[in-house]
Structure 1
Amino acid sequence: MTGILIAAVVLGVLGLICGLLLTVANKVFEVPSNPQRDAVRACLPGANCGGCGFAGCDALADAIVELKAPISACPVGGQAVADQIAEIMGVEDLPDQVRNIATVVCQGSSVHCRDKFNYHGIQDCVAASLVNDGNRSCKYACLGLGTCVRVCQFDAIHIDPYTGIAKVDPDKCQSCGACVNACPKNVLSLQPETVPVRLLCRAAEEGFLVSDNCKIGCIGCEHCANACKFGAITMVNHLPVFDMSKCVGCMMCAEECPTGAIWGDFDNRQIAEIDRDLCIGCTICKRTCKFEAISGELKQVHEVNEACTGCGECAKKCPKKAINMHVRKHVRDANAKVGTTKKEYAVPKEN
């Protein structure tokens, strides 16, 4: 019994001595923290998703303070976190961030895109893609086995039970890019949330090959490029590439697309409205309109017809600010344009 007590006392004394030594070492070798860095780290959400390009939130905080990363580098925190960090770093007039969301660049459901064979292997897109490039007839199509779902920390993506392809919840998406990196088919990409049009196909093949595999794929017909009157679309590898700095949101590309491969935000499509009290009949709006949607004579009040695409160019040019843009209540009528005789025009497709 005495031996046990002696051993306990010795161990206790040794523990006390080691504790004192560790305390002294901690004080002697302490690395002073950077209060600014600690404040920046406190603002970051702590998801450690890697969407910023750094190993985690600690690494990003270090990089921001060392001016090796932009203040708005955190995609999860968004504008709110960027504003807090800007205040800490003493940055004024921080431009508003354009929020990106994961976008599924495929509409190849089982209705539109057939299967080449029945896949009975591991329920993982990476594994399935190794078997004859996947079981879908289009080699660019979403395989729908949920690899993206499993890597998402925010429950922002799931496989639609009706279409069998991935679907993103934009309200939950934190723009971390984990799903984009995990997809073996590159079906997912980070795109600005508020763009008026999107290409929902990446089949870089000739039209007849695409149409054989998918009913709703891009066939490279160039209708969209020809319909765009602002030079915002160029064709690269049989696919349209959008220059969003030139896009004015007229959505004519989506309206003219024969297969529905281009999505247009038709629910928010705008129409111009001329304030009759302010209009002086200068005809600038009429001459500016590329769609013959404005009529009126010199020194007379002008009118906008239902052919208006909502591009807003007339409102920008009006010297009296007499033109306002608002969301239209009816589907655009191409037959309403000035001097048009009745003929067929493409009707906006519902995607």
Structure 2
Amino acid sequence: MSVVLITILTLAGLGALAAVILYLASQKFKVFEDPRIDQVEEALPAANCGGCGFPGCRAFAEALVKADDISDLNCPVGGPDIMEKVADILGKEVAKTDPMVAVVRCNGTCENRPRVNQYEGATSCAVAGALYGGETGCSYGCYGLGDCVEACDFDAMYMDKETGLPVIIEDNCVACGACVDECPKDIIELRKKGPKSRRIFISCVNQDKGAVAKKACSVACIGCGKCVKICPFDAITMENNLAYIDYEKCKLCRKCVPECPTNAIHELNFPPRKPKPEKKEAPAKSPESSK
């Protein structure tokens, strides 16, 4: 045999041996993957937003398949309909969850919160947050630079040029929480949409004492406690000079709203209040009728 033929046969033999070794190794160390993971992933909306608490829909699908109880797992984008499909695939029960929506807990508009300086740095809330408290006397309020809008993948937010605050487009919001995580001031919160999309919340996060907060923003919560006292359901608490409404306890009675002296409590999507009837004064008695 020629040297060339021997070389070819040797290389072919080594290749075949290597293939056998790799095959045996792959069989021994292969990781079984539940085929239901692909089914669940296909049922999910493929948003990969992270709102479920996992880095993507694939990771969420794996968690759903592995979990004995999926009642605490939820896809905010797909909502109850998608979770019911997932439950059918896995033969598990899913808890009913109320739809959520993002709310902006700051009403420090340009009119309510006058500027005391001008920021000329990078147009990023994260950058501004690392440098100083903001352009106004309220160090808790919105920077107005739009990081939350950039973080939203569903076109559910925009910056209002007149107010300088982000606006939530409720129909587009899937409550993924991306804007909540992005805001360095923690002024965005996920709350229950509520029946007929009606919600009541304190639109302020200022923890300064009353006089200081009021000086910085005309609609700040001043921690007076009137809303706490009037609430019949113990849904309002006061901590660090700031009131907070627990949406789990709130019955939307709206008794707290007119009690707030600074209009820091917001009520959304409610019908207009009926005007209170004016009290009629009794007609004055004439001198002749008194005789």
The bucket for the TM-score relative to the shorter chain is 0.7 to 0.9
Write the distance in 2 (CA, Å) between the matches of 1:202 and 1:187: 7
Write the distance in 2 (CA, Å) between the matches of 1:153 and 1:190: 16
Write the distance in 1 (CA, Å) between the matches of 2:155 and 2:229: 40
In structure 2, the CA distance between the partners of 1:38 and 1:266, relative to structure 1 (3 Å rule), is closer
Q: Which has the higher contact order (CA 8 A, sep 6+)?
A: 2
In structure 2, the CA distance between the partners of 1:129 and 1:163, relative to structure 1 (3 Å rule), is same
Q: Give SS of 1:83's match.
A: helix
Amino acid at match of 1:255: P
**Shift in Å, 1:211:** 0.7
**The one of 225, 232, 236 aligned to 2:235:** 232
Give the share of equivalent positions with the same residue, in percent. Answer: 35
Does the aligned pair in 2 maintain the 1:128–1:134 contact within 8 Å?
A: yes
**Shift in Å, 1:69:** 7.0
- Partner residue in 1 for 2:78: 77
The count of residues paired between Structure 1 and Structure 2 equals 262
Write the distance in 1 (CA, Å) between the matches of 2:48 and 2:249: 36
**Shift in Å, 1:181:** 1.0
Does the aligned pair in 2 maintain the 1:210–1:218 contact within 8 Å?
A: yes
Please list every run of 5 or more consecutive structure 1 residues that lacks an aligned counterpart in the other structure: 1-9, 269-329, 343-351
TM-score, normalised via structure 2 length: 0.80
**Shift in Å, 1:245:** 4.1
- Partner residue in 2 for 1:141: 141
- Partner residue in 2 for 1:153: 153
Q: Does 1:55 align with 2:55?
A: yes
TM-score, normalised via structure 1 length: 0.67
Does the aligned pair in 2 maintain the 1:60–1:69 contact within 8 Å?
A: no
Please list every run of 5 or more consecutive structure 2 residues that lacks an aligned counterpart in the other structure: 1-7, 282-291
- Partner residue in 1 for 2:256: 253
**Shift in Å, 1:36:** 2.0
Does the aligned pair in 1 maintain the 2:201–2:244 contact within 8 Å?
A: no
**Shift in Å, 1:229:** 2.5
Write the distance in 2 (CA, Å) between the matches of 1:107 and 1:25: 65
Query: How far does the alpha carbon of each residue in 1:156-177 deviate from its partner, in whole angstroms, 9 at most, with x for none?
Result: 1111111111111111112121
Write the distance in 1 (CA, Å) between the matches of 2:248 and 2:127: 39
Write the distance in 2 (CA, Å) between the matches of 1:251 and 1:49: 34
Write the distance in 2 (CA, Å) between the matches of 1:32 and 1:97: 32
Query: How far does the alpha carbon of each residue in 1:118-171 deviate from its partner, in whole angstroms, 9 at most, with x for none?
Result: 111111111112333222221111111111111211221111111111111111
Task: Map residues 196-345 of structure 1 onto 2, 5 A cutoff.
Answer: 196-265=199-268, 267-268=270-271, 331-334=273-276
Q: Does 1:170 align with 2:170?
A: yes
Does the aligned pair in 2 maintain the 1:63–1:69 contact within 8 Å?
A: no
**Shift in Å, 1:259:** 1.4
- Partner residue in 1 for 2:4: none
Write the distance in 1 (CA, Å) between the matches of 2:105 and 2:238: 17
Task: Map residues 177-188 of structure 1 onto 2, 5 A cutoff.
Answer: 177-188=177-188
Does the aligned pair in 1 maintain the 2:108–2:219 contact within 8 Å?
A: yes
Query: How far does the alpha carbon of each residue in 1:305-348 deviate from its partner, in whole angstroms, 9 at most, with x for none?
Result: xxxxxxxxxxxxxxxxxxxxxxxxx6234558xxx888xxxxxx
Write the distance in 2 (CA, Å) between the matches of 1:244 and 1:172: 21
**Shift in Å, 1:263:** 0.8
